[in-house]
Amino acid sequence: MRDKSNAKRSPLDLRDLVLVALLAAVGGVLSAYIGYLGNLINRLFGVPFGAGQLIAGLHVLWLLLARILTRRFGSATLTGVTKGIIELLSGGTHGIVIVLISFVEGLLVDVGMGISKRLSLPLTMIVGAIATASNVLLFQAIYFSGVSMWFILFMVALSAISGAFFGGYMSWDIYRMLVGSRIVSSFRNHEIGRSSSSLKRCLLTLGVALALLVGGVYYYTTVYDPFAAPDKARIEGALLAPYTFDYTDWQDQMVTVTAELRGSSTYVPPREYEGVPFSIVLQQARPEQGAQSVRVIADDGYEASFDDLTLLLEDQKILLSLDKGRLRLIAAGYDGSYWVRRVTRVVVR
C-alpha cells in the first residue's frame, strides 16, 4: 500500500507516517505513566530523584519500535521530535528540553540501527543503551555542569542498563509478539538473526560513535567558550581572592619586554611586547599556601601548565598582553608551547 505520488521524494510512506504519529502519541501519553513509575522507584530506593533512570529506557522504546517496524532511516528521529513536542504541549515537567533530548535519542536510534540491515537483539540492546544514556549527558550539559563526573558516569551506566533492557530488549520482545500475533504481519519483515562478525563491527562502530559523542559533548559544554569576553580572563582555583582580570583596568601596570618565540613549527625573532606582568596578576588573586602550579587556558581548550608557582610569582618577563583584541600570554624565556593565545582562564592548583 505504498503511495506512489510523493513516495519517491519521501523515505517514509503513508503507513509509516501514521505509525510514527501513533507511536509518538503513545509515547507522549504514557510518559506521564513512566514518570509515575519513576516516582514509585525513587520512593522504593528512598531517594528524591535519580533512581527513575532505572526505567529511562521506556522513553526510547517507542523510537526503537518505530525504527524496527518501518525499517526507514529518520523514522525514529521523527518519532522522537513529535513525542517531545507532545510531551511539551501536555505540560511535561522537563519543558522544552524534552524536545531536544527526544530528538537526540531518535537520531542515535536511527544511526545505530542503520549499522546493520539484519535485526538482532544485541544491536537493539546496544542502541537502546546508547540512546538512553544520551539523556543523562544532555541533562548534565544543561543543568549539572559542576556535578562530579563519577556521579554522572554512574547515572550514565544506570540509564544505559535501563536502555538496553527496557528499550532494546522490550522493543525486540514486543516486535516478536506483534509478529507472532500477526498484528504487524503486513509491515516489512525483518531478517531476524545474530551474526558474531556483524556484532563485532556493530560494537566497534557504536563504541567509536559513543566515544566521539561523549568527547564532543564534553568539549562543547566544558571547554569551548566561543562567546568569552575578549580582554578578560577568570583567575580561579586555589586562591584567596579569585577575580576576573580585565585588561583595560591594568593600563598603569604595563611593561615592555623583548622576547623571542621558539616553537616547534613557528619562529618569531626577538621583538618588543607590551603587557601586564603575569606575576602581578597572580599576586592580586592571593594564591593559597600550598598552591604549586598554574594552568593558562585558551577559549578552544588549549592550555599551558607551569609547575612552579613560586618561580612565576618572581618572573617579571611573563606578560598578559593584548593581541588582536584577545588576551595572549607572552612567556619570555619559555618554549613556544607555553605562549597561549586567546586566554580565558587561569587556574591555580
Partner 1 sequence: MIAKVSYHKGHAGLHRVTPMANVLLLVGFLAAVLVSPSILVKLGVFLLVIGLLVISGERVGSFLSKTRFVLLFGVVLFIAQAFSIREGNVLLSYGLVVTDSGLLAGAQMAFRFLVIFSSSVLFVLVTDPDRLAHSIEQIGIPYRYSFVLVLSLRFVPFFRKEYRAVRDAQQVRGINTSIRGFAGLLRSIRYTLFPVLVSGLTRVDSIAISMKGRCFGLYAKRTIAYKEHWQRADWIVLFLFCLLLATSVLARKYAWP
Measured from the CB atom, the residue of 54 and 329 that comes closer to partner 1 is 54
Site for partner 1 contains 248 (CB under 8 A): no
Distance CA 278, CA 316 (A): 7
Q: Which of residues 249-308 bind partner 1 (CB under 8 A)?
A: none
Site for partner 1 contains 133 (CB under 8 A): no
Size of the site for partner 1 (CB under 8 A): 77
Place of cell 513536542: 85
- Amino acid of residue 228: A
Q: Which of residues 2-31 bind partner 1 (CB under 8 A)?
A: 3, 5-7, 9-10, 12, 14-15, 17-26, 28-30
Q: Which residues face 272 on adjacent strands?
A: 258
Residue 270's contacts (CB-CB under 8 Å, 6 or more residues apart) are 258, 259, 260
How many CA within 13 A on the CB side of residue 25?
A: 6
Among 45, 117, 145, 212, binds partner 1 (CB under 8 A): 145
Distance CA 11, CA 163 (A): 27
CB of 280 to partner 1, least distance (A): 20
Site for partner 1 contains 219 (CB under 8 A): no
Distance CA 329, CA 341 (A): 6
Among 47, 153, 177, 311, binds partner 1 (CB under 8 A): 177
Site for partner 1 contains 144 (CB under 8 A): yes
Site for partner 1 contains 1 (CB under 8 A): yes
Q: Which of residues 42-61 bind partner 1 (CB under 8 A)?
A: 44, 48-49, 55, 58, 61
CB of 129 to partner 1, least distance (A): 18
Among 109, 122, 140, 184, binds partner 1 (CB under 8 A): 184
Alpha-helical (H) ranges within the chain are 14-45, 57-70, 75-89, 97-113, 121-143, 149-162, 170-180, 196-218, 278-284, 309-314
3-state secondary structure string across 19-47 = HHHHHHHHHHHHHHHHHHHHHHHHHHHCC
User: Considering only 120-128, 179-187, 309-317, 331-339, which stretch makes contact with partner 1 by CB under 8 A?
Assistant: 179-187
Rg value, the chain, Cα: 27
Rounded to 5°, the CA angle 230-149-216 comes to 55
Q: Which of residues 68-97 bind partner 1 (CB under 8 A)?
A: 78, 82, 85-86, 88-91, 93-97
Measured from the CB atom, the residue of 7 and 254 that comes closer to partner 1 is 7
Site for partner 1 contains 148 (CB under 8 A): yes
Among 150, 197, 227, 251, binds partner 1 (CB under 8 A): 227
Site for partner 1 contains 64 (CB under 8 A): no
Among 142, 208, 254, 311, binds partner 1 (CB under 8 A): 142
